[in-house]
Structure 1
């Protein structure tokens, strides 16, 4: 008789512990991302921006981010920039093609040098045609590659390799210029 009372209790216990595991593996609804960015070729020029002191990247739920650290810049004293999609990254000044991995290439030119204007010493130890030092985009949803183009006559050129041509936006914050590239074109986490 005991055997029959233990068996139903074991079945109930097994069923209740399996439910959370099944729910955890279930498909969740797509996350809405308030993108609405257009991605036109954008530009803004400034007379003389501060030197770049670093470039870093980050992942967010709806976009990948590239940050140019320019101490002293702000929305009132912005860093100039020119951003556009291109079929090939051509090195500033020389015109040599630089390979950038990904399905699309976003050319970013920041009107700040990657060197000290007084000493000409590099502020970012980057080499033309090479990945940005210290910027690892492995595993990012959108970013595939970052390539240093050049820092020439007060401007710094970067090639940003992306999964595809996706919407982007540019933000000027205190001490930094930010480029966000959406994970999807339609504003949902899953496409």
Structure 2
């Protein structure tokens, strides 16, 4: 009995001192296996390829914002801000949510050669309907100015996100912003 209680006491002391801890897999596991951060992400490359559509989607572990681009997607700047401002004027735009991502694609929403619009949202305050999304609260148009197109993304909270580009469909490409539902 003394041996059992001495062994149990040793284990309890080791746990208390942190000598026995879960393995590295348990310590680094994150929500849905996503290892993302909430730090700003950017690629400074510019593209004359124009934006043709902006859409959103829901996934099991994240909500997704997609820019369709007629040509090769290049740069972007995605970061948390205290307020999203309109391109050109700098005027703040109203957004719903507990946190705000300013999403800037380094591509215009107009044809660079003709100045003709290639994407115009039907409703600047609600570029897409995200009313039943888990993380997104609002997607608002902030403008397209000097080769940059900016959206305000209202979120439930400051959550980790990922930004990447994909080739296609066809000769076009996409700029993708995924925001996790949880940490």
- TM-score under structure 1 normalisation? 0.73
Q: Is the 2:63–2:178 contact (alpha carbons within 8 Å) kept by the matching residues of 1?
A: yes
Q: CA 1:128–1:57 in structure 2 vs 1: closer, same or farther (change >3 Å)? A: closer
Distance 1:52 1:43 in 2: 18
Deviation at 1:40, TM superposition (A): 1.2
Q: Which residue of 2 aligns with 1:139?
A: 132
User: Which of the residues 122, 142, 145 maps onto 1:152?
Assistant: 145
Deviation at 1:131, TM superposition (A): 2.0
| Structure 1 position 35 matched with structure 2 position 28 | no
Q: Is the 2:50–2:71 contact (alpha carbons within 8 Å) kept by the matching residues of 1?
A: no
Deviation at 1:71, TM superposition (A): 2.8
Q: Give the secondary-structure state (helix, strand or coil) at the position aligned to 1:33.
A: helix
Q: Is the 1:54–1:68 contact (alpha carbons within 8 Å) kept by the matching residues of 2?
A: yes
Per-residue CA deviation, residues 117-161 of structure 1 (Å, 9 max, x unaligned), is: 1221211113795221xx111100000000000100000010000
Distance 2:121 2:141 in 1: 6
Q: Is the 2:54–2:65 contact (alpha carbons within 8 Å) kept by the matching residues of 1?
A: yes
Alignment coverage as a number of residue pairs:
149
Distance 2:60 2:164 in 1: 18
Gaps of 5+ in 2: 1-30, 168-172
Q: CA 1:43–1:182 in structure 2 vs 1: closer, same or farther (change >3 Å)? A: same
Q: Is the 2:74–2:106 contact (alpha carbons within 8 Å) kept by the matching residues of 1?
A: yes
Distance 2:70 2:79 in 1: 24
Distance 1:142 1:152 in 2: 28
Distance 2:118 2:125 in 1: 16
- TM-score under structure 2 normalisation? 0.77
Q: Which residue of 2 aligns with 1:108?
A: 103
Q: Which has the larger radius of gyration?
A: 1
Distance 2:144 2:70 in 1: 17
Stretch moving more, 119-128 or 91-100: 119-128
Gaps of 5+ in 1: 1-31, 186-191
Q: CA 1:63–1:162 in structure 2 vs 1: closer, same or farther (change >3 Å)? A: same
